[in-house]
Amino acid sequence: MHVAGRIRVDRRTKNLARRLRKGEIAVIDHCDLDEVAARSLLERGVRAVLNASPCFSGGYPARGTPLLVEQGVPVVDSLGPQVMEELREGESVEVVDGRLFVAGRPLAEGRVVDQAVVAQEIERSYRHLRDEWSAFLENTLSYAQQEKDLILEPFPVPPLRTRLRGRPALVVTRGPHYKEDLEACLAYIRHERPVLIGVDGGADALREFGLLPDLVVGDMDSVEDETLRRVAERVVHAYPDGRSPGLERVRRLGLDAQIVRSRGTSEDVALLMAYEAGASLIVAVGTHTGMIDFLEKGRKGMASTLLARLKAADRLVDAKGLGQLYRPPRQYAGLWQLVLAGLLPLAVIFGVSPPLRSLLLLWWLNLRVAAGF
């Protein structure tokens, strides 16, 4: 393995992805690299990924690194924490068989993560998954008992300018395959005109499809400034004690926002708000619903999400995986082009031939009489 190029350095992969340019090398410190982070790097055209931490902890099958390797992106992990301190944004590095060089000087050595390593790590993770699953369930049930007020008491919805009562709502989160699922919902969005609610970066996802969110809900730590400026309303998810770092960011931009205190995730807050505000139907796109989803987000349980979904169940439709459900075979992808290509010569012939035009008109009149209209 040999790769060289300019680097971008950040402990938070999602922040790095915003600055990354095509052909640059990402230097991260991300144990158990998740799928959403990996996709964000791929979309930016990452040249290679250098990870100070192991890409796999062994507790569960993290899905980000297999995706990178599958797409042919060189990955080196376990380089050590010193690389985050000593490497500087924008400088050029060279990696040869896992050894990292800066200006010809060796800095660190890590493990080249190839298909064989991925297979070995995934197998190891599945051997430990039962224990991880057991701990996850225990944690979920324990916190569900403590957080049962989420389902037993009315959720405190702030006064909103956006009307939700009696209208469908579409709640978008940047979870795995959110793009495919959102694309699959476009016809529904055009026809039903639901209230568009972006959960943090989910608001940016809506804008990627040319849709302006009515409402953004979340910690405000992963949504673009321009999106915050353009949305009609902002609801900041605060800690139960009232602390709200996201509100400070919104105010620095000269914007206003409502505040909701909750122990749950921002996804939970968005779903519960839509439910309590009287949305007739809630379509969830890209939300996190399974154990791997939550482990990749660094959460050891899903109590609040379980409760939120139980409460909204009679109006909740989950679009997760909708974009993967059915894809037309590739051999039919260009069928309409072939049909048009065949009809074009006929259209030209009828256009230049008066007798044929008269024949076509007569055929059309006979068809109308036979059909009775």
* Tens digits of residue pLDDT in 182-205: 988 898 999 999 999 999 989 999
Whether residue 200 is found in the same domain as residue 318: yes
369 has a pLDDT exceeding 70: no
> Domain check: are 292 and 237 in the same one?
yes
* Closest to 271 (Cα-Cα) out of 136, 163, 150: 150
The pLDDT mean for the chain works out to 83
- In terms of domains, do 253 and 315 share one? yes
Question: Is 214 part of any domain?
Answer: yes
Residues 109 and 204 in one domain: no
Is the pLDDT assigned to residue 53 strictly greater than 90? yes
**Residue 76 sits in the same domain as residue 157:** no
pLDDT digits (tens, 9 = 90+) for 275-302: 999 999 999 898 876 666 666 665 565 6
Residue 115 sits in the same domain as residue 12: yes
Same domain? For 198 and 305 the reply is yes
Whether 204 and 319 share a structural domain: yes
Give the residue numbers spanning the domain of 9. Answer: 2-120
pLDDT at 156 (0 to 100): 83
Look up the CATH number of the domain holding residue 15: 3.20.19.10
pLDDT computed for residue 49 by the predictor: 96
Q: Is 335 contained in some domain?
A: no
Residues 68 and 156 in one domain: no
